[in-house]
Amino acid sequence: MKLRIKFAKFGAMRFIGHLDVMRYFQKAIRRAGIDIAYSGGFSPHQIMSFAAPLGVGLTSNGEYMDIEVVSAASSEDIKNSLNKAMVPGIEIVSVTKLSDNAMNAMASVTAAEYTVRFREGYEPSFDWAHLIDAFYEQPSILVNKKTKKSEVEMDIKPAIYSLKAVVDRNGTAVIRMLVDASSSGNIKPGLVIEAFMKEHGETLSQFALEITREDTFTNTGTAEMPVFIPLDAVGDQF
């Protein structure tokens, strides 16, 4: 049985890198008594794969991993068993069953939604909340993106599906964006804000932003007319 597990990552755990998160879940699954399936061969390992890795220092409300299990009572049973084995900073949000022909989490990712906040003392000097719409409405947004060998100029506008200023539950203005998160066109939210700041003559400090990934999406439409749904919407409760 293929299962998709959605989890949140916050607090001190945001400083734990992807490989350590993977090792953490391997141990947590054993502690929780999950009947996970193992690969064959001389060095069997838990059958597990993650969606787009989260950058160190970022929090998230929508991270995903896929596992295969030999048996499971119910979605709620797996969720509760795992949450009892979690440490502060990781919380299991949902568990869904995937069809046998479903793509794995990593191959499914096409977009991600982020909330971006400016840390106190690092806010732009200009009225950014009223200027973000005009920035997004430009026909192109050119940036210099570093590759392994060089630096190239590229237009990231096609990879930004939405960008706007909103007010959060605390009454604070924040930036909400939906961007390409596929393996071929992954756009980091900091790159978008850096271009926005540069257009208004300011430099983005490396400490200026607090970034939360709200969810990770797959595209059930076409490239021309995308229909984005969260990765856990692909499966079903059981």
pLDDT, tens digit, 9 for 90 and up, residues 175-195? 999 999 998 888 999 999 999
Which three-class secondary structure state does DSSP give residue 65? strand
Please provide the average confidence, as pLDDT, over all residues in the chain.
94
pLDDT tops 80 at residue 148: no
- Which of the four pLDDT bands, split at 50, 70 and 90, describes residue 170? confident
What is the pLDDT, as a whole number, of residue 146? 74
pLDDT tops 80 at residue 147: no
- Which of the four pLDDT bands, split at 50, 70 and 90, describes residue 23? very high
What is the pLDDT, as a whole number, of residue 110? 96
pLDDT tops 90 at residue 151: no
What is the pLDDT, as a whole number, of residue 137? 96
- As a whole number, mean pLDDT of residues 15-41 equals 95
Which three-class secondary structure state does DSSP give residue 184? coil
pLDDT tops 80 at residue 20: yes
Q: What percent of the chain has pLDDT over 70?
A: 100
What is the pLDDT, as a whole number, of residue 219? 95
What is the pLDDT, as a whole number, of residue 198? 95
pLDDT, tens digit, 9 for 90 and up, residues 90-136? 999 999 999 988 888 999 999 999 999 999 999 999 999 999 999 99
pLDDT, tens digit, 9 for 90 and up, residues 191-222? 999 999 999 999 999 999 999 999 999 999 99
What is the pLDDT, as a whole number, of residue 152? 84
What is the pLDDT, as a whole number, of residue 40? 87
Residues 7 and 61: their CA atoms lie apart, in Å, by 7
Number of continuous H segments (helices) and E segments (strands) in the chain: 5, 11
Residues 128 and 200: their CA atoms lie apart, in Å, by 9
What is the pLDDT, as a whole number, of residue 185? 83
pLDDT tops 90 at residue 51: yes
**Other C-beta atoms lying within 10 Å of the C-beta of residue 12:** 9
**Domain 2-106, CATH among 2.60.40.10, 1.10.10.10, 3.30.70.580, 3.40.250.10:** 3.30.70.580
Delimit the domains of the chain by residue range: 2-106, 108-233
In Å, how far from its chain's centre is CA 70? 28
SS (H, E, C) 112-157: EEEEEEECCCCCCCCCHHHCHHHHHCCCCCEEEEECCCCEEEEECH
